[in-house]
Amino acid sequence: MDTALQKFFHYLSSGLKWKIESMRQRLVFWVPPHELAVPFLKKLLDAALEQRVVTITYEAASRRERMIQPLGLYTMNGLWYCQAYCFLAEDYRVFRADRIKDLSEEADQSRRLDTTEEDIQTRILRTDDNEALELEVDLTPEGVRRCHSDLWLSQSIELREDGSGTIRTRMSASYTPWAVHFFLGLGMEANVKRPQAVRGQIQSKLQELLVQYADSNNLSMQE
C-alpha cells in the first residue's frame, strides 16, 4: 500500500505535493499505545486468511483452552480483537488478541467451517442483530464529555439542552466486560439502564469494592 501511495504521489503536481507535505507537518493522527504484547497476531491473521482451525490458550476471568476458527481482526481504542467461531461455545465470539497466551494449529481440520466473504464481512464489520444487546446509559454533562472521548460511544449520544445526555445503541454481548469496566469508571457521571447484564455486574463490583474498602477502614482503626 505504501508503494502504491508513493507512485500516486509521484504523479501529483508540485502544488499538491507541497500542500500534502505541509499538511503532514500540521495534522497528526495519534492513537495512545498500549504496552500489551500480541505475539500471535500474525498467526491469527494467517489462520483467518486460510480459514484454519487453531487451539488457543485464552486468559480472561480464568485461563482455558479453546478451539476457534478466526474470521478476521480489527483494532479499536488501541487494542486488537479477533472475531472467530468458538467450537467450545458453538457460537461466534470476539477475543482480545493480547489475552491469547498460546496458539497452535490443529492437525485435524475436519471441523473447519465453510465461510463466504459475505459472512466474514458481516461478522467483522457489524453486530448481528440476533445477538446484540440494547445499551442505554444516562449521562451527566461531565459524563457526556468523557464519553465523547470514545469514538464508538460518541456517535450514539443524544444531547439535552442542559448538556446531559443519553446513550442509546446496540452492542455485542462480548463487549459486556468492557462496558462494565468503562461505565464503572465514570462513577456518578453515568447510570446504566440496560442491558441488565451490564447493570447487574456493575452492582456486584460496587458491592465488592464496598467490602474491600470497609476492610481497609477496619485495619486503619486497628493500627
Last residue of a domain, one of 101, 125, 149: 125
Q: Is 186 part of any domain?
A: yes
Question: What pLDDT is stored for residue 201 in this prediction?
Answer: 95
Question: What pLDDT is stored for residue 212 in this prediction?
Answer: 86
Higher-confidence position of 164 and 177: 164
22 pLDDT more than 70: yes
Higher-confidence position of 1 and 195: 195
Lowest mean pLDDT among 119-133, 158-172, 179-193: 119-133
Same domain, 106 and 54: yes
Higher-confidence position of 192 and 133: 192
147 pLDDT more than 60: yes
- The model's confidence at residue 152, banded by pLDDT at 50, 70 and 90, is confident
Question: What pLDDT is stored for residue 34 in this prediction?
Answer: 67
Same domain, 186 and 117: no
Question: What pLDDT is stored for residue 120 in this prediction?
Answer: 67
Q: Letter for the amino acid at 133?
A: L
Q: How many domains does the chain have?
A: 2
Question: What pLDDT is stored for residue 67 in this prediction?
Answer: 96
Buried b (16+ CB within 10 A) or exposed e, 94-118: bbbbbbbeebeebeeeeeeeeeeee
Q: Encode pLDDT of 68-122 as tens digits.
A: 999 988 887 678 889 899 999 888 888 989 999 999 999 889 888 887 776 666 6
**CATH code for the domain of 76:** 2.30.30
Same domain, 112 and 146: no
Q: Is 34 part of any domain?
A: no
Same domain, 109 and 139: no
Q: Is 182 part of any domain?
A: yes
Same domain, 106 and 141: no
223 pLDDT more than 60: no
Same domain, 159 and 210: yes
Q: Is 17 part of any domain?
A: no
Question: What pLDDT is stored for residue 220 in this prediction?
Answer: 56
Last residue of a domain, one of 76, 106, 125: 125
Helices assigned H by DSSP within 13-95: 14-26, 41-50
Contacts of 96 (CB under 8 A, 6+ apart): 79, 80, 81, 82
User: What is the rounded average pLDDT of the residues 207-221?
Assistant: 74
Last residue of a domain, one of 105, 125, 145: 125
Question: What pLDDT is stored for residue 24 in this prediction?
Answer: 79
- The model's confidence at residue 132, banded by pLDDT at 50, 70 and 90, is confident
Q: Is 218 part of any domain?
A: yes
Task: Say what the alpha-carbon torsion angle 17, 3, 30, 16 is, to the nearest 10 degrees.
Answer: 10
Same domain, 45 and 85: yes
Q: The domain containing residue 51 runs over which residues?
A: 41-125
Same domain, 121 and 147: no
Question: What pLDDT is stored for residue 218 in this prediction?
Answer: 59
Q: Is 100 part of any domain?
A: yes
Question: What pLDDT is stored for residue 21 in this prediction?
Answer: 84
Question: What pLDDT is stored for residue 125 in this prediction?
Answer: 52
